[in-house]
Structure 1
Amino acid sequence: MRRPKSILLPISFYYAIRFMSFSAFGAFIGIYYSEALHLSEAQIGTLESIGGLVILLAQPLWGIIGDRAKYKNNVLYLCLIAATLSIWFLPLSGSSLILLAFSLAFFNFFQCAINPISDTVTLELSSTKNFSFSKIRTIGSLGYALMASVAGMIFERNILHMFPVFSILMFISFLLALLYPKVEGHQSKGKKKVNLLILFKDKRLIIIFVYALIISVTYGFFNSFHSLYSKNLGVSTSIIGIGVSIGSFSQFPFMLFFDKIYKRIGIMNILMCSGLIYALRWFLYAFALTETTLPFIWILHGSTFIVFYLCMAQFVNDNVVLELKASGQMMNAIILAGLSRILGSFFGGLLASYVGISNVFFISSIICLVAVSALFFILKYTTLFDSLKTT
């Protein structure tokens, strides 16, 4: 079946611009907290964990809303506009922790639904319109990579520039989202209602969720503190931006060949290999990070977060009932960006205030090795995942 260009163009541009907006914010917010507001590691960790807590509570709600909406696109429009506007509550809050906490909570309530709803809509369209979701996701990372290096140079002059840059890019994303074909909610009015708890009857899915959570806790700590840690070691903001850009480009090989790798190697082998690379990455951050080595260490990013992101998105799309696909993607987001962010940011921040950020990275490396060992044991001595070792 021929792939209509009229569909692929707006979807591709939407992913590119949306990821540009995330690049202009997520990779540099730690520097804003530290340099502009002069917050401590514990305070930064607390703020980031609040954002994660909101994500944890909001994601199931957005999943239900998405599955039961007449069109999932309408939910996406709402969240994009709300994120565009609510980002401004952060600079307006000044250095007041209470106001910052409320501002982050409000912003994250809407922002957290954008990725999973976008992926749900795009994955469903990919099945009916005959295009590859991983290729579209690659375009998103291309936008992220290009923006990261540019943003690093812009924010080197003034970190406050992140707010107008994010807001403008997010609004452009909203305009592009309006061009998406409509995708129905499969539990909308008059259709069968399916209980969310059905998701938790699949033991394989639960084990994958737990494994991903353990690994992602270490990534949650990294996201909150990598820019601050790099700055403390004498790395400039522009070099940090270049590193983030390199990390995004490093994801391209896996994304471009994801479908073949997923079918040939199987999800479990992919996830174990990624867990080992996570361990190596945190070890290098603990003991080998300098302005010279940072860009090279970021190359490992291409075999970490995106691996979990795509594998879990594809597994949910392939194995979860039609009526709960949005909820399933929301659960992925809870694991990868919600609960992991709470635990990694809050407890990692507290631990860093006592033992230092570098030691927390070393502990993170050990945690990843233990998680991989546990998953290997389950694969070797149970038959739960025999059908998934190669697919």
Structure 2
Amino acid sequence: MSKDGAPKSGGLALRVFIFFYFSTIGLSLPYLPLLFRQNGLSSLQIGILFSMGPMVTIAIQPLWGFLSDRFKTVKKLIILQLIVTAILSFVVFRVTNFELLLPTLFVFNVFAFPIIPLMDSLALSSIKNSRGTHYGSFRLWGSLGFGFSALLFGLFFRTHDLLLFPICYSLLLILCLCTSFFLQDSVYAGRKACLNDIKRLASSRKVFTFLLLTALLSSTNRANDAFIGIFIKQLGGQSDTVGYAWTVAALSEVPVLALGGMLLARFSELKLLTVAAGVFVLRWTLLGITPDPGLIILIQLIHSLSFGLFFLCSVSYMSKLAPDRLRSTAQGMLAAFLGGVAGIAGSVLGGAIMSGLGARILYLICALVALAACFFYYFRAKNEEGEVRRQETE
């Protein structure tokens, strides 16, 4: 038992669950675009398909978060989502026609995409109910799961056809489902959330501007997610090169996430987000000029100080902007912008740019967008510091 009386096994089960669920992402994110390409889809069509999830996130994710806060349960919703996702996965990844893929992938994403924010809500709940833990100590298991999966399936698909993708995905989801029954549900204090709570949170200028800024920077990362595998192939790389690139990126997050508690105790989230945006500028610029797929693997090492730091600080800052009773709702709103708005912009616009101008121009445009985000974060951090000083002198 922990000091507060909560079973330690709950934290262990959550870490194992996070590992397995991010393993499914380590399979789908690098190799689903390659499967779509093998099935004859264009970069623009792939971008549109990848925007299905973000579209769902914008419309559905806040609703899932509200249902969780309203009925004071996260675990039961995750189990429901996993069951439906597992059933649909046997069908959706076997469809090869673009017109049929649009509606089937849309329905699939209604249940698949909301799992991560609810998972984050469980982690944040666990942090509040136990000492000596921080969000990064949970999230790093996602990086390990993603990296392990990306590497394993990169080697696997070098000698096996990508048509085996649906079977691999379904098996990983079954492991997630088995683990989910051992999760410890969130502990909610006080009254249930109501619709007026959501309206007040959504109408907060501080919350809304932060979400827009987060979406701006995240859109560059979403474009990279959708097309880096294709870019590596264009440069002459193989499936295992794609796997290595994703594995290095995921595993590079581990040190940042492990030290996340110390970093957040010493620096404000907005200062760290400024640093992350600056590293994104460097990363996209290097990818835009690299001539060799092997160099991409080395460039992926700075994924830790770009996306890893960005995601960690975004989740932490959003949790401070919302009361505990709206924990899941707040993370759902963050996901709607970080994955939804950003995903549509990154996937659709990224696909159009890549089809018309090529991958190098896409990455250089991403670098300019990240530079703009870096300045915005910097000035917001300065303004917030000024507000704190004024409050201290009053």
Same fold? TM cut 0.5: yes
Q: How many residues align?
A: 383
Match in the other structure for 1:91: 93
Match in the other structure for 1:45: 47
Match for 1:165 among 165, 168, 171?
168
**After the TM superposition, which of the residue ranges 326-335 and 311-320 deviates more from structure 2?**
311-320
Which residue identity is paired with 1:180? L
State whether structure 2 residue 180 is matched by structure 1 residue 177. Answer: yes
Match in the other structure for 1:56: 58
CA separation of 1:191/1:139 partners in 2, compared to 1, >3 Å: closer, same or farther? closer
Match in the other structure for 1:304: 306
TM-score, normalised by the number of residues in structure 1 = 0.92
Match for 2:23 among 20, 23, 29?
20
Match for 1:7 among 10, 14, 22?
10
Looking at structure 2, the residues matched to 384 and 345 of structure 1 have their Cα atoms a distance apart, in angstroms, of 37
Match for 1:213 among 201, 212, 215?
215
State whether structure 2 residue 375 is matched by structure 1 residue 373. Answer: yes
Looking at structure 2, the residues matched to 150 and 258 of structure 1 have their Cα atoms a distance apart, in angstroms, of 27
Q: Secondary structure at the match of 2:183?
A: coil
CA separation of 1:353/1:76 partners in 2, compared to 1, >3 Å: closer, same or farther? same
Deviation at 1:260, TM superposition (A): 0.9
State whether structure 2 residue 142 is matched by structure 1 residue 140. Answer: yes
Deviation at 1:192, TM superposition (A): 5.4
Match in the other structure for 2:120: 119
Deviation at 1:122, TM superposition (A): 2.1
Deviation at 1:88, TM superposition (A): 2.5
Match in the other structure for 2:329: 327
**Does the 8 Å contact 1:22/1:166 carry over to 2?**
no
**Does the 8 Å contact 1:72/1:185 carry over to 2?**
no
Looking at structure 2, the residues matched to 216 and 286 of structure 1 have their Cα atoms a distance apart, in angstroms, of 18
Deviations along 1:114-148, one digit per CA (max 9) or x if unpaired, are 10111112211221133333112112211111111
**Does the 8 Å contact 1:34/1:40 carry over to 2?**
yes
Deviation at 1:51, TM superposition (A): 2.4
Structure 2 unmatched ranges of 5 or more: 390-394
Looking at structure 2, the residues matched to 267 and 59 of structure 1 have their Cα atoms a distance apart, in angstroms, of 24
TM-score, normalised by the number of residues in structure 2 = 0.91
Identical pairs, percent: 23
Deviations along 1:2-37, one digit per CA (max 9) or x if unpaired, are 4744223212211111111111111211111112x1
CA separation of 1:43/1:79 partners in 2, compared to 1, >3 Å: closer, same or farther? same
Q: Which runs of 4+ in 1 moved over 6 A?
A: none
State whether structure 2 residue 84 is matched by structure 1 residue 82. Answer: yes
Which residue identity is paired with 1:171? I
Looking at structure 1, the residues matched to 83 and 22 of structure 2 have their Cα atoms a distance apart, in angstroms, of 16
Deviation at 1:384, TM superposition (A): 6.3
Q: Secondary structure at the match of 2:284?
A: helix
Deviation at 1:239, TM superposition (A): 1.2
Match in the other structure for 1:348: 350
CA separation of 1:221/1:252 partners in 2, compared to 1, >3 Å: closer, same or farther? same
Q: Secondary structure at the match of 1:183?
A: coil
Deviation at 1:185, TM superposition (A): 5.9
